[in-house]
Amino acid sequence: MKSACSDPHFAEYCPDCYQSRPEHERLIEQWLELTPLVAWVVGSQGRGKTRLLEWVLRDRHPVVVHCGLLGRFRREGDFYSHVLGQLGQRSITGDSLFDLRELARRDGALLLVVRDFHFLHPGLRRELMASFKGLRESREINIQIVGETRGHPGAGSASHVTSVRSLDEAEVERWGEHYRVAWRPDEARNVHRQTGGIPALVALYLEHRHMNTARPQLMDAWTRYVHDVKEQLRDRNQYELVERFKADRSTPGDVSELDALGVVDARTGRWACELYEMYL
């Protein structure tokens, strides 16, 4: 299906490949009836936040902000100025938030997708949460903000939040049926054990299974994914958390942080999946 969105990164998703997360989709669809709206999809890496939002918002022409590219931003003015830029506008008054509000008033509905909110500077996140709250409570503005983030978005956000988690064994099996996989005995259980039900890893398995590719190619795809996770952790100076976990020297705070990163399950104190245990 061709996406109507102008953002080339807001990729088109094939309806045959998208794995439905009906409970989340229904919830987000309900929220989208509201304006103004500030809503959050929360989940660790690989849990399907991006795919879910891309699917639900595929025909709604969102403006997408990639926070991973805004690491140097420190003030909310920078953020809103960037949003105005995405809309092909510049600040008229010098207060970009005000100008965005005016734009939403004048031109009608504005749907803003804030991707990877967790990558923003903590001070900026706090400022933005405050201004998002202001937008949410200003009844006359036709603006909707839907964000995705790994940890909790912050104070002021709790009324519209959904958490996407790893799949359980039955869900892995159901996803396989979507790919018309004729499961062999114990196959779904083994896939769940290896992947921990992390949707991105499950999807890689199913794509390879569907294409009948050889096992080494699947392992190559899986290890590349884990390698990417490792590189991201290194880039953000978080890999030492993994090293302490491997050496059994983690503090409860480390485990909690690794849980938020989706690497460890804090409830069990174990790796989120066998693949992480082997290759991370």
Partner 1 sequence: MIRNFWLGVHRPGVTRYQPSVADTTVRAFLAEGRGRLWLRGPSGSGKTSLRFEHAPDVRRAGRLCGELHLLGHSSSVPAETRRLTFAVELSRSLGLEQLPWKDLLATCVRERAVVFVDEVSSLRDRHPTGPIRPDDEPLLELAEAGVDLILLTMDEPEALGWPRELPVTPIWKEDLDAAAVAALVAPLARSEELAAEVMAQVGGNPVLLQRVCVMLLKRPASSLADVVAELTTDLDPFLIEIEWSVRTGLGDPEARQAWIRAIGAWEALVESGPPDSESPAVDTLRRLGLLRPGAPLSAPPCGLFLSRFDRGWCRRIRETA
Q: Please report how close the Cβ of residue 114 comes to partner 1 at its closest, in angstroms.
A: 17
d(CA 40, CA 163) in angstroms, rounded, equals: 8
Q: Please report how close the Cβ of residue 16 comes to partner 1 at its closest, in angstroms.
A: 34
For partner 1, the closer of residues 95 and 274 by Cβ is 95
Tokens at residue 238, please?
Answer: 């978080």
Q: For 219, how many CA atoms within 13 A lie in the half-sphere containing its CB?
A: 6
Residue 255's CB: how many other CB atoms inside 10 A? 19
Would you give the end-to-end CA distance of the chain in angstroms? Answer: 35
3-state secondary structure of 215: helix
Q: Please report how close the Cβ of residue 258 comes to partner 1 at its closest, in angstroms.
A: 11
d(CA 240, CA 242) in angstroms, rounded, equals: 5
Q: Please report how close the Cβ of residue 83 comes to partner 1 at its closest, in angstroms.
A: 12
Cα 12-13-18 angle, rounded to 5 deg: 165
For partner 1, the closer of residues 21 and 125 by Cβ is 125
For partner 1, the closer of residues 8 and 108 by Cβ is 108
For partner 1, the closer of residues 143 and 272 by Cβ is 143
For partner 1, the closer of residues 30 and 138 by Cβ is 138
For partner 1, the closer of residues 54 and 76 by Cβ is 76
Q: Please report how close the Cβ of residue 237 comes to partner 1 at its closest, in angstroms.
A: 16
Using CB under 8 A, list all residues that contact partner 1. Answer: 75-77, 80, 93-98, 101-102, 122-123, 126-127, 129-131, 133-135, 137-138, 141, 152-159, 161, 251-253, 256-257
Which residues are 37's β-sheet partners?
A: 144
Q: According to DSSP H, which parts of 108-214 are helical?
A: 122-137, 169-178, 187-195, 199-211
- Please identify which residue in the block is written with the tokens 């510049």: 90
Tokens at residue 56, please?
Answer: 């639900």
Q: Please report how close the Cβ of residue 230 comes to partner 1 at its closest, in angstroms.
A: 23
